[in-house]
Structure formats: C-alpha cells, structure tokens
Structure 1
Amino acid sequence: MKAIIVMYDSLVKNLLQPYGCQWTKTPNFQRLAQRTVKFENCYVGSLPCMPARREMHTGRYNFFTRSWGPLEAYDESMPENLMKNGIHTHLISDHYHYWEEGGANYHTHFGTWEIVRGQEGDKWKAQLKEPKIPEKVIAALLTDGDRIG
C-alpha cells in the first residue's frame, strides 16, 4: 500500500483542475487525481496550520484540550504508526518552522524529511508577480462560499 498526503495551508481546491477549474493549469494535480482516490470532504476542528497538523498526526481535536503547540512526547502520530507497520514515511515541507529551534518537532515523527526553502521571512523567498485572476473566476468562487486572498 502507498499513501500520499498532500496538505496545504492556503490552497482553494476550486482553483485546481481535478476539482473543476479550467483557467489554471495544474498537470501534476491532474495526474495524481487520475491515479488515486480524491479526498472530497474535510471537517476541520482546529485551525490554522500547526493545530490542524497535530490533529492530522494524532486523530484528536487539538483546541479542545490545548492551545497552539508542538506534538507532545505522549502523542502517538500517524507517521510513527505507519513506520511501526513497515510503511516508509517521508515529509517534504516548505514550512521552515519545523527546523527552527523549538520548531514543534513534527518532522521527527517521519522516517525521512527534507525542506523546500522560500516561505515567510526566509531569505531565499522568491519574488513573484501577483497572479491575474479573472473577475468572473473570483465571482464564481465567492458564489460557492469560498474566500480567496
């Protein structure tokens, strides 16, 4: 069995081709969706990123019992449970806080990991132009109840 979990902090699925968007070109997401089962629904208990990650690792709601923070020593995590059952786990992240001192130790629960630099205050951040999103696309997204930006 192979499992790939793709998780983004700020991505509207309606802007991806596999979910019906025709004005963006997302060939890698297209190929992935054609070869896998698409995840259609998610009900999040804790937001934003780090609490949601703790929920994904442990399967427990985060904000019912604690505030923002790292995985605790007593937390059993999904990547660890997979490894105990002979399944290789690997994390690729551009969330450089994992690797900072005191950086929430989420990466240490994977068999291997790597970082793609370029987010937030990281000096390697690329300077990209703002995308031109057609007004009709913005209107359609807002009609569906989604918010972008």
Structure 2
Amino acid sequence: MRTVFVLFDSLNRLALECYGGQGIPTPNFNRFAERAITFDRHYVGGLPCMPARRDLHTGRLTFMHRSWGPLEPFDN
C-alpha cells in the first residue's frame, strides 16, 4: 500500500464543507475528501505549524522542549 500524506497549513476544519462548514464553498476539498480518507479526530502536541510538523514527522512531542524551527539534521 502506498500513502500520500497531504498537510494543509492554517485551515480550520469548520471552514471546509466536507467537515460541515458552510461559509465558503470548497469544491476542490470536497472532491479530494470523497476520494481520500478523512479523519474526525486528530491530536497534536503543538498547534503552530512548524512544531506540529516536527511532531508528525518525528513522532515526538517537542513543542514544549524545543524552539520554533524546522526539522533539524538530528531529528529522526
């Protein structure tokens, strides 16, 4: 099985029609959600984008222990 992980930055799920949002039409996200797996629950250790990405890519919750920044060469 192959997986494509798509990460969209700074989106509120309530702004997307596929999650019940009604304020802005999002036809492309709707089409994508119909063909993909969507998740109803997701928990991260840090909500700002860079710490959250580090958490997702390394599997370690680091926001409270590391400064703001991209993945470092020593992040496995």
Tell me, yes or no, if the aligned pair for 2:18 and 2:29 is still in contact at 8 Å: yes
Match of 1:101 in 2: none
The answer as to 2:18 corresponding to 1:18 is yes
Tell me, yes or no, if the aligned pair for 2:51 and 2:62 is still in contact at 8 Å: yes
User: Computing the radius of gyration over CA atoms, which structure comes out larger, 1 or 2?
Assistant: 1
The within-5 A match list for 1:64-143 is: 64-76=64-76
User: Which protein has greater RCO, CA pairs closer than 8 Å, 6+ apart?
Assistant: 2
Query: Greater strand share, 1 or 2?
Result: 1
Q: Deviations over 1:60-108 (max 9, x none)?
A: 10124322223222222xxxxxxxxxxxxxxxxxxxxxxxxxxxxxxxx
Identity %: 54
Paired residues in the alignment total 76
- What TM-score do the two structures reach when normalised by structure 2? 0.78
> Runs in 1 of length 4+ with deviation above 3 angstroms?
none
2:57 alignment partner, SS class: helix
The answer as to 2:49 corresponding to 1:49 is yes
Match of 2:6 in 1: 6
Paired with 2:47 and 2:13, the residues of 1 have a C-alpha distance of: 17
User: Could you list the runs of 5+ residues in structure 2 that have no partner in the other structure?
Assistant: none
Partner amino acid, structure 2, of 1:62? T
Deviation at residue 19 of structure 1 after TM alignment: 0.7
Deviation at residue 49 of structure 1 after TM alignment: 1.3
- What TM-score do the two structures reach when normalised by structure 1? 0.44
* Superposed CA RMSD: 1.9
